[in-house]
Structure 1
Amino acid sequence: MKQKKILIISYYWPPAGGPGVQRWLKFVKYLPEFGWEPTVFIPENPSYPIVDETLQKDVPVNLKMIKTKIWEPYQLAEKFGKDNKKFKAGQFDVGENQSWKAKLSIFVRGNFFIPDARVFWVKPSAEFLEKYLKANHYDALVTTGPPHSLHLIGLGLKKKLPNLKWIADFRDPWTEISYYKHLKLTKFADKKHRNLEAEVFKNADITLATSYTDAENFRKKGANAFCITNGFDLEVGSQKSEVGSKNFTTKFTLSYVGVLEQLRNPEILWETLDNLVQENDEFAKDFELKFVGRLDDKILKKIENSSLKNNLNNLGYQTHDVALSEMQNSSVLLMTNFPQESSKGIIPGKIFEYLATGKTILSFGPKDADVEKILSETKAGKHFGYDEKENIKNFIVETYQNWKSGNLNKNAENIEQFSRKNLTQKLVDLMNKQLF
C-alpha cells in the first residue's frame, strides 16, 4: 500500500530542548510504521530558549526537512537582559516582582506581536509553502503551536488551497492559557487574538488538544476537536526501562524535573517539608530535595534561607537523557500546575515520563484537573490543591514510611495507552477516519 504524505510545520525541533519539541519528534518517529511519510518544515535560524543536542539522535536519518529563514524580535530583545530571555521561555514575574523592563516586554509582546513574536514568519512561509504544495502532493498538513503564529500559516494555506486537509495541533491553549490574562492586552488586541483563534478553529479539519478539558473547550468554540495526549517512549538515560522499575534510592528523594517559575510555585510544600525537617531528625537525615532544570531565583533563595538548605540538591538544567536518569534516581516525582480553575486542562508533558519510571508522583493544581484523572486511573500518585497542608503532610509522611520499609514504588496500572507508539496509532486512526 502506498504511504500517505504529511507535512508538519513546527517552530521547535532539535536541537531545541524542552517538552514542546518531543510531541511531533515522536510522532515523526512512528508515523512510517503506520503508513504515513512525514516531512518537517522548520525555521532555519530560530531563537530557542533551551538547547538540548541529545535530542538530535531521535530525528530519523532519512527524514525530509525543509527550512526557511525567520526574523523574530527576541533576537534583539535578548540583548536587553535576563527578563526577556525568561519571557521567551514562557516564564515571567507577576505583580510586585515585575521590573519595568519585564512590564514593557509583556505589553509589547501581547499587543504588537499578535499572536506572538514569530508572526513575521507567517507571510513568507505561507507564500513559500503554497508554491511547494502545488508542486508536491501531501495528504495532510499539520501546524503545531505554540507559537500559535504557525496556525496562521495553516489558515493562510487552507484559504488558498481549500482541498488541503489541515490539522491544527494545540500543545497549549491560545486565549485560555493561564498567563493570557497577564499579557496586559488592550481591548483591540484581545479581540484580535480571539478572532484569529476562532478562524483557526472554524477552518481546521481537525483540531488536536493535549488534554481532555482543552478538547472540550475547543469544541465549545466551534472546533472539530479531539484529545491526543503527550506520552512516553520508555527510555531512561541510555538504558531501556521497564514500566514500574523499582530502583531503590539511598535517600528519600523528592525531585522536580523541568522549569519551575513563580506562577506554579508550591510554597505550601516547601513550608511542609521545612516543618518536617525541623520536627523529625530521621526524616532530615534521609531527605533530599532535588531540582533538575531551571529554578526561579526567588524560589531558590527562599529554600536556601530555610531549614531545607542542607537537604537541597540543585543540579540546574540538564540534557534530556540526564533528566530521565535523575527521574529514575528519585523516590517521589513532583509536578506543579497553575492553581487557577482555568488551568485544570493542562497536562504537563513530564507526567508521562514520570509514569514510565513507576515512581510515586506528587502533583499540585486545581481540583478535578485532568492530571488528577490520569493519576487516579493509573494509581501512580496523588493530586493536591495548593491549600491542603494537612493532607500534603500526611501524604509525605506515609510515603516516607513506605520508602523506609521498601514498599514505596508499586507498579502503576493502565499506562501503556500513553506510549508514543500507541498514541501515534491513535493519531493515524483519527486522520484516516476524519480526513478521508
Structure 2
Amino acid sequence: MMRRVLIVAYDFPPRGATGVIRVTKFARYLPEFGWQPVVVAAAVRGGMLDEALLAQLPPELEVLRVENRFAPGNAAAGRHAASPTLGARLRQSLRRLFIPDPQLLWVPGAVRAASQRIEQGGIDALMTTAPPYSVHVAGLWLKRRFPQLPWLMDLRDIWSENPTIPDPLTYKLQAAWERACLRAADHVTTATDGQRGLILRSFGIPPTHISTITNGFDPADVPALVPPPDRGPLRLTHVGSLVGNRAAATQGLFAALERLVAQGVTADELEMRLVGVFDAEVYQWSQPLVERGIVQLVPFMPYAQAVGEMTAAHVLLLITANDREGRLSHPNKLFEYFALGRPILALTPEGDVARLVREADAGQAVPPLDVEQIVAALQTLLAEHRARTLGSVAAEATRFARFERRELTRQLAARLDELV
C-alpha cells in the first residue's frame, strides 16, 4: 500500500541550492519504497536555478509553491553574498532580526498550505528538511495542529551550535527553537554521525530518537569513469560555494599557491578551478593568482555541468570550514568525488571528512590553514603529475554502495515506516 509523506522544504527544484540535491533524491526514490511525497516549497523567484533537476522528479509529484515576498532568490542566495553590497548588508541585519532566519516570514504561508493539504486527507506522515531552519518551525506548528501526524525532522547542518551564530542572545534563541523542535519531532535524522553526537550531548534526547542518514551520490548522475586529461597543467577543481567560514578557510590555500609561485610554479604546470558562489574575500585573496592564470573563479552552474567540471579534473579539491561545522559536517560533493574516482585533496580540520577520505584511501586530508602541509601536498601532486604516476582511486562497485541515493532513501522510508 502506497502511503503519502508531506515534505516541507524551502529549496526545491528548479532551485539549484546545494541542499536541494538531498531532498530531490528522496522525492525521486521514495515511491520505490512505498511512500509518495507531496512537497511544500518556496515559489521560484530568481536565484540560482537548475531546470535539469526537474527531470529527476516523478512526473506525478505534487508540489505546492508558497510565496515569500521577502526573499526573491533562494535560501542560499539569501544567506550569502558575493560582494558587500547594500542588499548583502541588509540581509545581514535581517538575519539578526528574524530567528532562526529570514525565511521565518515564509512560515505562515507554508503552514497554511500544508494544513489545507493535510485536511484534504491522505497524508500519513510529515517531514521537514533544513536549513533554512525556519522550515522546522513550520514543522513544529504543524505538529501542534496535527498531533496525530508523525513528524520526521531532517537536519542537514548544525543548527544552534553553528559557529557562525553572532552573539550569546542569538545562540539562546536559536537553541530554544532547536530544543522545541527536537522534543516535538517523532524522529530526527542528521547528515553525519558528528551532528548526531552533538545533538545527543547538547539536548539530551534519547539515542533511539535520532539516526544518521548521510549525504551520498546517485550512480545515474556520475558519468562512466574516464581518465583525466593526460596533457597540460595539473588541474584541481573545487565545486561548491565558498562563503562564510568556508571562505575564510581558503586563506591557507591561496598562501600556499603564492609560495609555489615564488618557487617558480606557473600556470603551465598548475591550474585551479573554483566553481560556485564566493564571498568578496575570496575574490580579494585570489586576485594575484587569477592574474597569473593559476586560479580561475567560475560562476555557479547547473548540477550536470558541475559534474562535467569534476570529471575534467586530475584532482578534486574539498574545502570545509576550519571550525566545529567543518569537523562535524561533510558536504554532499564528498560522495560524488568518491564516485568519480579522482584523488581528493581535502582541506579540512580533523573530523568526519578527514576520517572518510582516509578510510576510503581516496587522497590527502590536511588542515585548511596549515600552509606548510598544503604546499607539501601540492608539491607531491605536481611531482606525480609530471611523472604521470597520478592515479585514480576508482574502487570496486560495492565499496561505496552504502552511500548511493537509492539506499539512503530506503533508510529514510524505513524510518517513516516505523513512525506510522
- Normalising by structure 2, we get a TM-score of 0.89
Give the distance between the partners of 2:357 and 2:128, measured in 1 at CA: 30
Equivalent residues of 1:14, 1:56 under 8 A apart? yes
Deviation by residue 1:92-129 (Cα, 9 ceiling, x = unmatched):
88xxxx7887556423322x212211212323332443
Give the distance between the partners of 1:241 and 1:142, measured in 2 at CA: 31
Match of 1:292 in 2: 275
Amino acid at match of 1:327: M
Q: 1:195-234 to 2 correspondence within 5 Å?
A: 195-220=176-201, 221-223=203-205, 224-234=209-219
Match of 1:22 in 2: 21
Equivalent residues of 1:17, 1:51 under 8 A apart? yes
The question of 1:406 aligning with 2:388 is answered yes
Amino acid at match of 2:259: N
Give the distance between the partners of 2:108 and 2:299, measured in 1 at CA: 38
Larger CA deviation: 414-423 vs 325-334: 414-423
**How far apart are residue 3 of structure 1 and its match?**
1.4
Q: Check 1:118–1:46 CA distance in 2 against 1; reply closer, same or farther (3 A cut).
A: farther
SS class of match (2:297): strand
SS class of match (2:157): coil
Deviation by residue 1:330-363 (Cα, 9 ceiling, x = unmatched):
0111111111235311211121222221111111
**How far apart are residue 324 of structure 1 and its match?**
0.7
Match of 1:424 in 2: 409
Q: Check 1:308–1:385 CA distance in 2 against 1; reply closer, same or farther (3 A cut).
A: farther
Amino acid at match of 1:30: Y
Give the distance between the partners of 1:101 and 1:327, measured in 2 at CA: 32
**How far apart are residue 195 of structure 1 and its match?**
1.4
Equivalent residues of 1:293, 1:315 under 8 A apart? yes
Larger CA deviation: 248-257 vs 298-307: 298-307
**How far apart are residue 28 of structure 1 and its match?**
1.0
1:322 to 305, 308, 318: 305
Q: Check 1:376–1:118 CA distance in 2 against 1; reply closer, same or farther (3 A cut).
A: same
Equivalent residues of 1:177, 1:343 under 8 A apart? no
**How far apart are residue 51 of structure 1 and its match?**
1.6
Match of 2:330 in 1: 347
Q: Check 1:293–1:103 CA distance in 2 against 1; reply closer, same or farther (3 A cut).
A: closer
Q: Check 1:212–1:412 CA distance in 2 against 1; reply closer, same or farther (3 A cut).
A: farther
Equivalent residues of 1:338, 1:365 under 8 A apart? yes
Give the distance between the partners of 2:76 and 2:16, measured in 1 at CA: 15
**How far apart are residue 47 of structure 1 and its match?**
4.5
**How far apart are residue 392 of structure 1 and its match?**
2.1
1:312 to 291, 295, 298: 295
1:266 to 220, 225, 250: 250
Q: Check 1:24–1:388 CA distance in 2 against 1; reply closer, same or farther (3 A cut).
A: same
Q: 1:21-420 to 2 correspondence within 5 Å?
A: 21-43=20-42, 45-47=43-45, 49-72=47-70, 74-75=71-72, 88-91=78-81, 105-110=91-96, 112-181=97-166, 187=169, 189-220=170-201, 221-223=203-205, 224-235=209-220, 241-242=223-224, 245-250=226-231, 251-261=233-243, 263-264=245-246, 265-280=249-264, 284-306=267-289, 309-367=292-350, 369-413=351-395, 414-420=399-405
Equivalent residues of 2:15, 2:44 under 8 A apart? no
SS class of match (2:189): strand
Larger CA deviation: 209-218 vs 307-316: 307-316
Give the distance between the partners of 2:302 and 2:56, measured in 1 at CA: 14
SS class of match (2:268): helix
Match of 1:81 in 2: none
Equivalent residues of 1:201, 1:218 under 8 A apart? no
Unaligned runs of 5+ residues in structure 1 are 79-83
Runs of 4+ in 1 over 6 A off after TM superposition: 84-87, 98-101
Q: Check 1:150–1:48 CA distance in 2 against 1; reply closer, same or farther (3 A cut).
A: farther
Deviation by residue 1:45-104 (Cα, 9 ceiling, x = unmatched):
3445322222222122121222333332x34xx9xxxxx9986143588xxxx7887556
Give the distance between the partners of 1:416 and 1:30, measured in 2 at CA: 16
SS class of match (1:169): strand
Deviation by residue 1:314-337 (Cα, 9 ceiling, x = unmatched):
332222111110100001111111
Amino acid at match of 2:258: D
Deviation by residue 1:244-277 (Cα, 9 ceiling, x = unmatched):
5433343310112121136323222222222223
Match of 1:435 in 2: 419
Give the distance between the partners of 1:61 and 1:86, measured in 2 at CA: 26
**How far apart are residue 308 of structure 1 and its match?**
6.7
Give the distance between the partners of 1:18 and 1:177, measured in 2 at CA: 19
Give the distance between the partners of 2:75 and 2:178, measured in 1 at CA: 26
SS class of match (2:365): strand
Give the distance between the partners of 2:394 and 2:191, measured in 1 at CA: 21
Amino acid at match of 2:283: L
- Normalising by structure 1, we get a TM-score of 0.85
Give the distance between the partners of 1:102 and 1:19, measured in 2 at CA: 20
Amino acid at match of 1:113: F
Q: Check 1:234–1:405 CA distance in 2 against 1; reply closer, same or farther (3 A cut).
A: farther
**How far apart are residue 416 of structure 1 and its match?**
2.1
Q: Check 1:158–1:194 CA distance in 2 against 1; reply closer, same or farther (3 A cut).
A: same
Q: Check 1:125–1:314 CA distance in 2 against 1; reply closer, same or farther (3 A cut).
A: closer
Deviation by residue 1:282-306 (Cα, 9 ceiling, x = unmatched):
x652211112222334423432324
Equivalent residues of 2:253, 2:369 under 8 A apart? no
**How far apart are residue 405 of structure 1 and its match?**
3.2
